[in-house]
A = this chain, B = another copy of it.
Amino acid sequence: MNAEIVSVGTELLLGEIVDTNAVYLAGQLPALGIDLYWVSQVGDNQSRLVEVLGRALSRSDITLISGGLGPTADDLTREAIAQLMGEVIYQDAVLATELATFFAARGITMSASNLKQATLIPSARALPNARGTAPGWWVEKGKHIIVAMPGPPEEMKHVWQTAVLPCLRHCAQAVLCSRTIKLFGISESLAGEMMTPYFESPNPTLGIYAKPDGIQLRFAAKAADEAAAHQLLDPCESIVRALFRDKVWGIDDETLDSVLLNLLAQRQITLATMEFGTQGWLAATLAAGSNTDRYRGGLVAATIETLSEFGLERALIEGEDIEKLAAAMARRACLILGADCGLSIVESPTVVSTSKYATALYIGIDGPGICKTVRVTYSGGKERIKRLTTSAAFFEIIQALRCTA
């Protein structure tokens, strides 16, 4: 069973609004075992809308539409469906009464144009919308289903959850579950080569993605129910863990900072940070975490001279041995903030000579039984470098803490 998503509205084509409805609906389908092959955004133009919906009807079992159900002249989803079905729109007495009641309850005068939202075609039934004036449409044509939902995200979700989801659950025959295994310190191409045999597997399927927090291997399994799907996924995870060993730092929703903060909580260790070159990203990421009890705080140097205000010696700041500076920064962070463990990042003030875009950064870790510095080199924009370096710092301290556990 496959689905297609069509988001309607000229505002989606202006580059000012992100189509969060499509993302939400896409995220709902795997658990129903429904495959999604096509997503498109189309403006408020009836002929283009009819074209898109006609193609969807011909190739997809279910077409999920959001938007274009408003009361104004440029809301054309109902008209497009009617044209496609060769049916005539009529005003439904029950819907008109409900709409009048909706307005009366809010003490607002209903304008004549709103009656457009009380219409149907013979093969459509209305999907109630308690959050707004536009009910959805559920249209069946042979084996094909077209679902039209209102565009405002809150109304769309409400109609989806209360009216669409229960009906689609009947159609669902299988579930799709996924497991993402997260690696750091390995390139996408090498990870891809090591996993080559597994790309051929039809079920579970394997996808590989490069992210700022490393490489993600994502297995998706189709099965009769969730338990059966997880039985297919467990051996995949075991294989990846055996192949990549300590490069594996987490799975699924885990983030490097959540893994670190949880480790600190388990081990009852407090952490402090000091950084130069990562623009406060280390502190901001940890402070925004969900389990921050063990994070004391961060010292952010916006200029390298500021490090002297944090008690680092001038000779060290101005010297060549950035690794030693990183180690000293981690120790000073502990001291100033009264923490057990310190983590530092410092950008080398000189650009790495081998490539004009590459920057070297040093990570320092100082804590109970741990004293480690790591040099990393990244190229690209500042934003990219700060995210990658912060990820590397989290990965290194996670590894260090796990080794000393």
Contacts and interface: CB of A to CB of B under 8 A. Distances in A.
Interface of A: 10-20, 22-30, 36-45, 48, 70-74, 105-108, 111, 113-114, 130-132, 152, 154, 158, 178, 187-190, 192-193, 196, 199, 207-210, 279-281, 283-288, 292-293, 295-303, 305-306, 309, 336-338, 354-355, 357-358, 377, 379-384, 386
Contacts of A210: 70, 152
A380 B131 contact: yes
A285 B300 CA distance: 11
Given A38-B42, A114-B189, 5 more contacts: A14-B30, A37-B45, A106-B377, A287-B302, A299-B299
Given A16-B27, A41-B39, A106-B355, A300 B288 contact: no
B24 A72 contact: no
Contacts of A13: 26, 36-37, 39
A39 B12 contact: yes
A192 B113 contact: yes
A302 B285 CA distance: 11
Contacts of A280: 280, 283-288, 298, 300
A301 B339 CA distance: 12
A186 to B, nearest CB: 11
29 contacts: A13-B39, A14-B30, A15-B25, A15-B30, A16-B209, A19-B22, A38-B40, A38-B42, A38-B48, A40-B40, A40-B41, A44-B207, A70-B188, A72-B199, A72-B208, A74-B199, A105-B354, A105-B358, A106-B379, A107-B377, A108-B187, A111-B193, A279-B284, A280-B284, A280-B288, A288-B386, A296-B309, A297-B303, A297-B306
A6 to B, nearest CB: 9
Contacts of A36: 13-14
A374 to B, nearest CB: 15
Contacts of A10: 207
A189 B102 CA distance: 14
Contacts of A20: 18
Q: Counting chain B CB atoms within 10 Å of each CB, which of A193, A281, A306, A377 scores highest?
A: A306
Contacts of A192: 71-73, 113
A11 B209 contact: yes
Q: Counting chain B CB atoms within 10 Å of each CB, which of A17, A74, A158, A189 scores highest?
A: A189
Contacts of A24: 15
Contacts of A379: 105-106, 131
B287 A295 contact: no
A356 to B, nearest CB: 9
